[in-house]
Amino acid sequence: MAGRDLPLLRRLPDGPAARTFLVAVFIDAAGRGLFLAGSALFYTQVIGLTTAQVGTGLSIAALCGLLCVVPIGRVADRIGAPQTLIALQLWRGLGFFVYPFLTDFTQFLLVACFLGMVENAVTPILQSIAGSIAGAGTPVGTMAAVAVIRNAAYSLAALAATLSITLAGPAAYTGFVLANATAFVLTALLLLRVRHGLPRVAATADPVSALAALPWRDLRFLGLALLNGVLFLHMVILSVALPLWIITRTSAPEPVVGVVLFVNTVLAVTLQVRFSRGGDDLGHAGRLQRRAGVALAVFCVLAAASAGSPPAVATAVVLLAAVALTFGELWQSAGGWGVSFQLAPVGRRNYYLGLYNLGASGIAVLGPGLLTVAVVGRGTVGWLVLGGVFLVTGLLVAAIADRPAREVAVR
């Protein structure tokens, strides 16, 4: 299946700015993947934090990111997305270079909040640059390629991290942090080349036009952003709810959790480009998110059915559920990219994309607690209710995206 997607990848813009950007994406994801593989051990064994302190600190840091994402988007519209991303990467690199010197919770909280202020702003700005690189091509296809590259980098980094921990032990944890910091600096240097290869799109200076283009005046845009956030729950399901469900509520063996993550990664790398076809059309993007809602509803039914079965049956059902969950993830991503690209005025793209991603960012903060209590804790009923929410959400996105909207003032 991967081979069939390669022609699409080859049709991506192949100028120096595009190639450099994709290299920067790979390096950034590889550094991030190394850090994530050992982050929990670094926090607890190197800094000496308790798990409660880690969770509290990262939650507060995530809230800082929610507050900063839209203002940073406005800055990016004024000075340029590449310039802003360079600054954000250097900011993140500085924070990670400081991490190994921390010795208590107060210091950790300060640095985590320092990093958290910019974390949520990175994704919409990356998306904005991908749209600029695509030019007259397909921005959604470019984002699909970016997603493939990032997933591949994460996978390779996870493998390298496993080998490093096996050979080097605890010393590897600090090495992962420094590698991530170095990756941020390297990507900032690469983005200097990207900056010179992209056209500059300035925000409008007309206050009347600017007021008309404010995203909170567009209820259609806000509704789609909120619904996209609901569908984005699949990320929290994969990382938190499903592993907890497998371990505590099914008879499937614990290693199945790792198999689920492997299946998700392989399918994401091989199918993301294929599942993104047609996403540059607003109506079709809405229909992609409708497919996401259906796939996620199917996943919830399968997850509910996995409880109370013999180990072999539970394992088979869980793996089928993982496939449905991944399909939902791929369609949600492609549909979200398409909807946000089509509704974001060019001169205020970073601002709009930042606001659109607030729904997903908010879910990343609230989702773990919500799913743990209301879904995993409720068992079968919790999954079936969530499945109904996904189905209705997907149908609403498709219906709203198909509705005609007033012309946006700034294009």
How large is the C-alpha radius of gyration of the chain? 21
Lowest mean pLDDT among 141-145, 203-207, 302-306, 381-385: 203-207
The pLDDT value recorded for residue 294 is 98
The SS3 assignment for 410 reads: coil
CB atoms within 10 A of CB 373: 11
State both tokens at 161: 């991290």
Per the model's pLDDT, the better-predicted residue between 162 and 160 turns out to be 160
Predicted confidence band of residue 197 (pLDDT cuts 50, 70, 90): low
Q: How far is CA 182 from CA 27, 58, 114, in A?
A: 10, 22, 18
Cα torsion through 187, 188, 190, 191, rounded to 10? 110
Angle between helices 358-371 and 51-79 (to 10 degrees): 170
What does the DSSP assignment read for 333-369? Answer: HHHHHHHHHHHS-GGGHHHHHHHHTHHHHHHHHHHHH
Task: Tell me if 102 sits within 8 A of 111, measured CB to CB.
Answer: yes
Task: Tell me if 349 sits within 8 A of 200, measured CB to CB.
Answer: no
Lowest mean pLDDT among 6-10, 148-152, 272-276, 323-327: 6-10
Highest mean pLDDT: which range of 87-91, 193-197, 368-372: 87-91
- CATH 1.20.1250.20 boundaries in the chain: 1-202, 209-404
Going by CATH, does the domain composed of 209-404 fall within 2.10.69.10?
Answer: no
pTM: 0.85
Task: Domain 1-202: state its class.
Answer: mainly alpha
What does the DSSP assignment read for 155-193? Answer: HHHHHHHHHHHHHHTTHHHHHHHHHHHHHHHHHHHHHHH
C-alpha angle 314-330-238 in degrees, rounded to nearest 5: 40
pLDDT digits (tens, 9 = 90+) for 21-70: 989 999 999 999 888 878 888 888 899 988 788 888 888 988 898 899 98
